[in-house]
Amino acid sequence: MSTYSEEHIKYLKKQKKEKRIICFFRLLIIICFLIAWELLSRFELINTFLSSSPTEVIETTYQLLQDKTLFTHIGVTLYEVLISFSVATLIASIVAIVLWSNKIIAKVIDPYLTVLNSLPKVALGPLIIIWVGASTNSIIFMALLISTFVTIITIYQGFAETNQSYITLLKSFGANKRQIFMKAIFPSNIPTLISALKINISMSLIGLLPPVGENFII
């Protein structure tokens, strides 16, 4: 005998139905996109030299599997992503904490962060090659440039916009900055931190695409 009420069973069925509908439309969007991409390339409505096509991607992937270089390229790319993601997250977290803990430093650094974040970093590719060299290091450096500043701004804004009632309550009990951070700022900003990590990983991937090194794949 079921321990759930009839209303709860209906609710669960509704939830499962919604999940199936969502998955169906997600899959449908991908299929429609691939079909449209293939048709546009077949009828030469897009430049296949720049955008390729699904069949060409499959053929290239098969060739890379045949000559056993696919997983080598994937491994290099994953290494670059993990390094840039980890370093950018660490730097952004430390800088955001410092900015939150010292309002004077935050006011001094804020315009510089805005300017650095708005720089067309991909255009700096040739300079990065000169500075770092045409290697994996230059790709990681590019990814760091693209992801670090936006991650700092995202995390710091979350810290700065924390509900002041929590902070005031803790201060009334004599809490210091470390205790305020651990008891109010950090728990309140877990969703913001997750969003920052999502932005960071996407920006790191974008940073790997410019051909500033010899080991990258598209």
Q: Tell me the three state secondary structure of residue 163.
A: coil
Looking at the structure of the chain, the number of domains it has is 2
* Of the residues 67, 95, 117, the one at which a domain ends: 67
> Binning pLDDT at 50, 70 and 90, where does residue 83 land?
very high
> Binning pLDDT at 50, 70 and 90, where does residue 214 land?
very low
Q: Which residues contact 138 (CB under 8 A, 6 or more apart)?
A: 128, 129, 131, 132, 212, 213
> By the 8 A CB rule, do 84 and 147 touch?
yes
In this structure, the answer to whether residues 45 and 12 fall within a common structural domain is: yes
In this structure, the answer to whether residues 119 and 144 fall within a common structural domain is: yes
- For the cut 50, the answer to whether the pLDDT of residue 186 exceeds it is yes
Alpha carbon separation from 7 to 4, 13, 14, 163 (Å, rounded)? 8, 10, 10, 37
CATH number of the domain encompassing residue 191? 1.10.3720.10
In this structure, the answer to whether residues 170 and 124 fall within a common structural domain is: yes
The mean pLDDT value of the chain amounts to 87
* Of the residues 23, 52, 67, the one at which a domain ends: 67
In this structure, the answer to whether residues 97 and 179 fall within a common structural domain is: yes
CA pair distance 66, 49, nearest whole angstrom: 23
Domain of residue 181 covers: 68-218
In this structure, the answer to whether residues 76 and 164 fall within a common structural domain is: yes
In this structure, the answer to whether residues 144 and 41 fall within a common structural domain is: no
In this structure, the answer to whether residues 47 and 134 fall within a common structural domain is: no
In this structure, the answer to whether residues 22 and 35 fall within a common structural domain is: yes
In this structure, the answer to whether residues 61 and 104 fall within a common structural domain is: no
> By the 8 A CB rule, do 161 and 199 touch?
no
In this structure, the answer to whether residues 145 and 201 fall within a common structural domain is: yes
CA pair distance 168, 166, nearest whole angstrom: 6
CA pair distance 83, 77, nearest whole angstrom: 10
> By the 8 A CB rule, do 216 and 93 touch?
no
In this structure, the answer to whether residues 128 and 167 fall within a common structural domain is: yes
Tens-digit pLDDT profile for residues 190-208: 999 999 999 899 888 887 7
Q: Cα angle vertex 139, ends 136, 142, to 5°?
A: 150
196 burial class (0-12, 13-18, 19+ CB within 10 angstroms)? buried
